[in-house]
Amino acid sequence: MELNSIKQRFGIIGQSPLLVRALEIATHVAPTNISVLINGESGVGKESIPKIIHHLSTRKHGAYIAVNCGAIPEGTIDSELFGHEKGSFTGAHESRKGYFEEANNGTIFLDEVAELPHSTQVRLLRVLETGEYIRVGSSKVQKTNVRVVAATNVDFVKAIQSGKFREDLFYRLNQVPIAMPALRDRGNDIILLFKKFAADFSEKYNVPLLQLTPESELLMLQYYWPGNIRQLKNITEQISLLETNRYVTPETLHAYLPDAGMNAAGIVRKDNRQSGDFQEKEMLYKILFDMKNEITDVKKLVLNMVQSENHWMENPESVALFQRLFQGAVPEDGDSFDTFDSNSPVITVKTGGSSNSPMIVNHPIHHEIVEESLSLLDTEKEMIKKALLKHKNRRRNAAKELGISERTLYRKIKEFDLQNL
């Protein structure tokens, strides 16, 4: 079945490549019996994928049962999923089939599967591996032939590390992963969805159709949408009902969009890449590039000096470059300083008399120009090493000068093996 037909059948709106990829994977795995794990934020429409998988599979004539694992109390979840026998617990006045028994030869969708308690995770793993389960209060093993599709908005890596979810169950569920994109990552799909919802509510409430101004479209494309499609649908419904002006302006949107997704300029993009270590690394790389530019200037100055011998001071460009590079490091009368360390070619700068006196430059330099390392990692390591030495290994002070957090500095020290400075 073509994707356009699938979208039309299941009411899916959008042309985003990320959405198309998710739909393609769903259609490819549908004819198999493999387990599928759908991952995505709350409100992105994860519930559409298991329906597509079920209706395109050989199980389409069997039962399809959707279970919200987070909405069932821990004390009754085993009974709901696997059934119970009469008298197995208080209130069990008769035997009852569970969802896995009801969905035999069909598909069961476990939404928010990460919310399952540990005891239920063990039972679920057995069903996935052997197709066997036991009703609560019974000792009789029963068989079921059910295809499991699960979904969650939880980071499974963290859940496994914290002991909240079994690693073996995760790998059993995650035979084929499908990632549903967040609304903010779907581009123009946001506008398409708004227009679809606006048309639906116009018909439902018998009100004129909403129209977006170009400025409003831009704002909607840049907004973070923490509640994803569910949030967009709710806001469209509110505006359809409450606003008399059918042209939606940015001012109208600001009245309905929470500040959590905006700043004073209109937008806040809460991209994880723009926070924490990424911000610090970006700042560090900027410093590194600035240092590289200064090194290039030094090379240019030295080259001018070598080419023009002792007459380099007659070159205005060289003089200006020298003054910029050594601004704030003017020697006292009669003093001298070296612009390079002891391992570098020696350039001695002497002044006599006042600071306005001509500078005499002696430069016993080899005519070989050695390229410095342009590796960002090497330069980053050297900069961190110098900061630690300068502050006598006081890491807080070094981190402050580098413009990074202590946590990032500790990690870099370990990464570059600088613990024994």
Question: What pLDDT sits at residue 31?
Answer: 96
CATH class, 184-261 region = mainly alpha
Residue 376 neighbours by CB distance under 10 Å: 14
Return residue ranges of the chain for CATH 1.10.10: 376-415
Closest C-alpha to 78, from 96, 98, 93, 92: 98
pLDDT confidence tier of residue 329, bands split at 50, 70 and 90: very low
Q: What is the pLDDT of residues 182-225, one digit of tens each?
A: 999 999 999 999 999 999 999 999 999 999 999 999 999 999 99
Q: What is the pLDDT of residues 127-162, one digit of tens each?
A: 999 999 999 999 999 999 999 999 999 999 999 999
Instruction: Answer left, alpha or beta for residue 417, where phi above 0 means left and psi between -120 and 50 means alpha.
Output: left
- Higher-pLDDT residue of 148, 290: 148
- Is the pLDDT reported for residue 340 higher than 60? no
Question: What pLDDT sits at residue 386?
Answer: 86
Mode of pairing for the β-strands spanning 36-39 and 147-152: parallel
Kindly report whether the global pTM for this prediction surpasses the value 0.75.
no
Work out the average pLDDT over 15-31. 96
Return residue ranges of the chain for CATH 1.10.8.60: 184-261
Residue 303 neighbours by CB distance under 10 Å: 14
CA dist., res. 212 & res. 195, Å (int): 9
What value does the mean pLDDT of the chain take? 81
Question: What pLDDT sits at residue 419?
Answer: 79
Question: What pLDDT sits at residue 359?
Answer: 46
CATH class, 376-415 region = mainly alpha
> Of 3.40.50.10190, 3.40.50.300, 3.90.1300.10, 1.20.1530.20, which CATH number belongs to 3-181?
3.40.50.300
Question: What pLDDT sits at residue 124?
Answer: 97
Return residue ranges of the chain for CATH 3.40.50.300: 3-181
- Higher-pLDDT residue of 132, 390: 132
Share of the chain above pLDDT 70, in %: 71
CB-CB contact of 303 with 369 (8 Å): yes
CA dist., res. 324 & res. 222, Å (int): 42
Mode of pairing for the β-strands spanning 107-111 and 64-68: parallel
Q: Give the list of residues 6+ apart from residue 410 with CB closer than 8 angstroms, or none.
A: 395
**Minimum mean pLDDT range among 103-112, 139-148, 284-293:** 284-293
